[in-house]
């Protein structure tokens, strides 16, 4: 049986795409669907989870080598995300409903700099880097668990 190359590429990409929850959303895929169960099993298999006082960090290394961390409160909501590695992660997926703020900030002129920074009551974001070395983090100030500071998000 032969499959077209485009079908094979799509299948390989779908299998290698890490699963993340969006910033401000519940961690993990929505329960009850077969895809959600498959995604949850895949995420558990590839994620390294570390628990701290008042929150959990789920760390996944993407196929590109970029490390993505989700910071999850005891209420199971992702209050922060961070990334570091040779390629940018899918920020649309990571930032969820906050992605539009990033797109707006990134489209503004940044003379001499490639970094993007947002500092507001709704979102704090820093993203920058250069080819093969990107890093950034974002968090929702109102969702930070008690005792967690921005310095805890790396």
Q: H or E element: which one contains 123? A: none
Task: Name which of 134, 139, 143, 133 is nearest 151 in CA terms.
Answer: 139
Average pLDDT score, the chain: 82
Query: Could you read off the pLDDT of 59-73 as tens digits, one per residue?
Result: 999 999 999 999 999
Model confidence at 10, in pLDDT bands (50, 70, 90)? Answer: very low
pTM assigned to the model: 0.77
Backbone angles phi, psi at 141, to 5 degrees: -55, -40
Please state, in angstroms and rounded to a whole number, the distance separating the CA atoms of residues 90 and 88.
Answer: 7
Query: Could you read off the pLDDT of 92-125 as tens digits, one per residue?
Result: 999 999 999 999 999 988 776 678 999 999 999 9
- Counting Cα atoms < 13 Å in the Cβ hemisphere of 9 gives 3
């Amino acid at each position: 049986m032969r499959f077209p190359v485009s079908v094979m590429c799509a299948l390989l990409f779908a299998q290698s795409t890490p699963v993340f929850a969006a910033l401000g959303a519940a961690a993990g895929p929505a329960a009850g669907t077969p895809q959600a169960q498959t995604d949850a099993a895949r995420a558990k298999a590839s994620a390294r989870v570390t628990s701290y006082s008042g929150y959990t960090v789920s760390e996944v290394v993407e196929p590109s080598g970029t490390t993505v961390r989700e910071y999850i409160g005891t209420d199971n909501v992702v209050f922060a995300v961070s990334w570091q590695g040779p390629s940018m992660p899918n920020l649309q997926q990571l930032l969820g409903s906050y992605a539009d703020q990033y797109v707006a900030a990134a489209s503004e002129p940044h003379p001499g700099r490639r970094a993007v920074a947002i500092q507001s009551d709704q979102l704090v974001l820093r993203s920058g880097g250069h080819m093969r070395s990107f890093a950034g983090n974002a968090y929702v100030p109102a969702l930070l668990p008690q005792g967690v500071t921005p310095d805890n998000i790396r």
